[in-house]
Structure 1
Amino acid sequence: MSAVNTVRGPVEADDLGRTYMHEHIFVLTADVQRNYPGEWGEEDRRVADAVDRLRALAAQGVRTIVDPTVVGLGRDVHRVRRIAERVPELNIVMATGLYTYDSVPFFFHHRGPALNEALGADVPDPMVEMFHTDVTEGISGTGVRAGMLKCAIDRQGLTPGVERVMRAVARVHHLTGVPVTVHTHPETRTGLDVRRVMCEEEGVDPGRIVLGHSGDTTDCDHLAELAGAGFVLGMDRFGLNLGTTFEARADTVVEMCRRGHAAAMVLSQDAACYIDWIDPDVMAFLPQWHYLHLGQEVLPYLRRNGVTDEQLTTMLVDTPRRVLSPVPPAAP
Structure 2
Amino acid sequence: MSEVATVRGPVDSAELGRTYMHEHIFVLTPDVQQNYPDEWGEDGSREQDAVEKLSALAAQGVRTIVDPTVVGLGRYIPRIQRVAGRVPQLNIVAATGLYTYDSVPFFFDHRGPAVGMAEPMVEMFVGDITDGIAGTGVRAGMLKCAIDRHGMTPGVERVMRAVAQAHHRTGVPVTVHTHPESRTGLDVKRVLCDEEGVDPRRVVLGHCGDTTDCDHLAELADAGFALGMDRFGINLATTFEARADTLVEMCRRGYAGSMVLSQDAACYIDWVEPAVMSLLPQWHYLHIADEVLPYVRGRGVPEEQIHTMLFDVPRRVFEGK
Report the TM-score range of the alignment, normalised by the length of the smaller protein: over 0.9
Question: 1:127-146 residue pairs with structure 2 within 5 A?
Answer: 127-146=121-140
* Contact 2:27–2:69, Cα closer than 8 Å, also in 1: yes
Does 2:220 align with 1:226? yes
Alignment partners' CA distance in 1, 2:317 and 2:192: 16
* Contact 1:3–1:326, Cα closer than 8 Å, also in 2: no
> Which residue matches 1:95?
95
Report the aligned-residue RMSD. 0.7
Deviation at 1:326, TM superposition (A): 6.2
> Which residue matches 2:115?
115
* Contact 2:201–2:320, Cα closer than 8 Å, also in 1: no
Deviation at 1:325, TM superposition (A): 2.7
* Contact 2:207–2:231, Cα closer than 8 Å, also in 1: yes
- Of residues 254, 259, 272, the one that matches 1:260 is 254
> Which residue matches 1:248?
242
Alignment partners' CA distance in 2, 1:279 and 1:326: 39
Give the aligned residue type for 2:159.
V
Give the aligned residue type for 2:243.
R
> Which residue matches 2:297?
303
Deviation at 1:242, TM superposition (A): 1.2
* Contact 1:101–1:152, Cα closer than 8 Å, also in 2: yes
SS in 2 for 1:141: coil
SS in 2 for 1:260: coil
> Which residue matches 1:330?
none
Does 2:315 align with 1:317? no
Flag structure 1 segments of 5+ consecutive residues without an equivalent.
117-122, 328-332
Q: Which ranges of 4 or more aligned residues in structure 1 deviate by more than 3 Å?
A: none
Give the aligned residue type for 2:12.
E
Instruction: State the identity %.
Output: 76
Give the aligned residue type for 1:214.
C
Aligned length: 321
Alignment partners' CA distance in 2, 1:302 and 1:88: 30
TM-score, normalisation: structure 1: 0.96
Give the aligned residue type for 1:139.
I
SS in 1 for 2:194: helix
Does 2:177 align with 1:183? yes
Give the aligned residue type for 1:27.
V
* Contact 1:4–1:326, Cα closer than 8 Å, also in 2: no
Question: 1:1-332 residue pairs with structure 2 within 5 A?
Answer: 1-116=1-116, 123-325=117-319
* Contact 1:186–1:214, Cα closer than 8 Å, also in 2: yes
Alignment partners' CA distance in 1, 2:320 and 2:37: 38
Deviation at 1:142, TM superposition (A): 0.8
User: What CA deviation, in whole Å up to 9, does each residue of 1:206-233 have, x standing for no partner?
Assistant: 0100000000000000000000000000
* Contact 1:27–1:272, Cα closer than 8 Å, also in 2: yes
Give the aligned residue type for 1:37.
P
Alignment partners' CA distance in 1, 2:320 and 2:136: 21
* Contact 2:2–2:318, Cα closer than 8 Å, also in 1: no
